[in-house]
Amino acid sequence: MYYCYLDTPIGELLLAGADGALAMIGFPQGSMRRDPEADWIYNEKPLAKARQQLEEYFAGVRKDFDLPLKLEGTEFQVSVLKALQEIPYGETVSYGEIAKRIGRPKAVRAVGAANGRNPIPIVVPCHRVIGSSGDLTGFGGGLDTKEALLRLEAENTQDLL
């Protein structure tokens, strides 16, 4: 697995991937904080496209990512990750809505758990999932980070009108 770091407005992100696909983004804080594993190799080149697209996202000019991703997990978890990718930029949905979209309307808690295990946040936009009351709920990079990502998107949605 190759890895590198990317400085962003929310802190330094750890990017990792293999076989030409992005496999992981680690936050600088929170439960999704990650460090490179001992056998990983520091190399920015295999992650250049991911770095570029994330830089464009944080600059407010990229609304969709076009990257090969290595989505791992159970069949259910992968279905949740794929549903997350369908949430439009600048919009939010509830965990219950995701459960309905994957045909498992009673699996709201399991959707929340799968969302919380998302190894590729931002690109797979788990930050766009909120509680049914509209409240921001747990996020692997911390609620401040979730709020910052949603604010970034809100500030740049006028381009979509």
pLDDT value of residue 139:
77
Residue 12 backbone dihedrals phi, psi, to 5 degrees: -80, 120
Domains and CATH numbers, the chain: 2-58 (3.30.160), 75-160 (1.10.10.10)
The long-range contacts involving 44-50, CB below 8 angstroms and separated by at least 24 positions, are 44/4, 46/2, 46/17, 46/20, 47/2, 47/3, 47/4, 47/15, 47/16, 47/17, 47/22, 50/15, 50/17, 50/22, 50/123
140: left (phi over 0), alpha (psi -120 to 50) or beta: alpha
Rounded average pLDDT per 10-residue block, the chain, 161 residues: 96 94 90 88 96 96 95 93 95 93 93 90 93 74 87 80 44
pLDDT value of residue 157:
81
pLDDT value of residue 40:
97
> Which residues are 132's β-sheet partners?
none
As a whole number of angstroms, the distance between CA 161 and CA 76 comes to 34
Residue 14: strand, helix, or coil: strand
pLDDT value of residue 159:
53
Catalytic residue among 126, 129, 130, 148: 126
Q: Give catalytic status of residue 4 as yes or no.
A: no
